[in-house]
Structure 1
Amino acid sequence: MATIVVKQIGSPIRRPKIQRDTLKGLGLNKMHRTRELEDTPSVRGMVESIPHLVTIVEEKA
């Protein structure tokens, strides 16, 4: 299964609740944390909805 490594680059402080909830859904909650997640359309959509808070560090096949 393909995976992506997502890193949090922005703070959720003073962001709308929906953006904070999206970060929690990705398993991120503190700055500079990384998570390795399955590369699915739903995860990609979550990452693309908050590009100012997270970045894709690596894509693994």
Structure 2
Amino acid sequence: MAPKTDKKTIKLKQIGSPIRRPEKQKQMLVGLGLGKMHRVVELEDTPEVRGAIAKLPHMVAVVD
């Protein structure tokens, strides 16, 4: 069994629709594992994920 690591995670919820959004924003949602309204995913807290969240503040929310 692999050793357990203490990697931080972040939960995201999609709050905005990808309809009538630029293709780049739709691709970012798919890259985050989202795409349908109210879907929640748990991702590793990395600078890349934080950057995607910063570009989509109107479509995703951080959930506690």
Q: TM-score, normalised by structure 2?
A: 0.89
Structure 1 residues 10-37: Cα deviation after superposition (integer angstroms, max 9, x where no partner): 0000000000000000000100000000
Work out which structure has the larger RCO, using CA pairs closer than 8 Å and 6 or more positions apart in sequence.
1
Task: Quote the Cα distance in structure 2 between the aligned partners of 1:27 and 1:47.
Answer: 12
1:48 to 34, 46, 54: 54
Determine whether 1:57 maps to 2:59.
Answer: no
Match of 1:7 in 2: 13
Identity of aligned residues (%): 60
Q: Which has the higher strand share?
A: 1
RMSD of aligned residue pairs (Cα, Å): 0.4
Q: Secondary structure at the match of 2:13?
A: strand
Q: Secondary structure at the match of 2:30?
A: helix
How many residue pairs get aligned? The number is 58
**Stretches (4+) displaced over 4 A:** none
Return 5+ residue gaps in structure 1 as ranges. none
Tell me the TM-score normalized by structure 1: 0.93
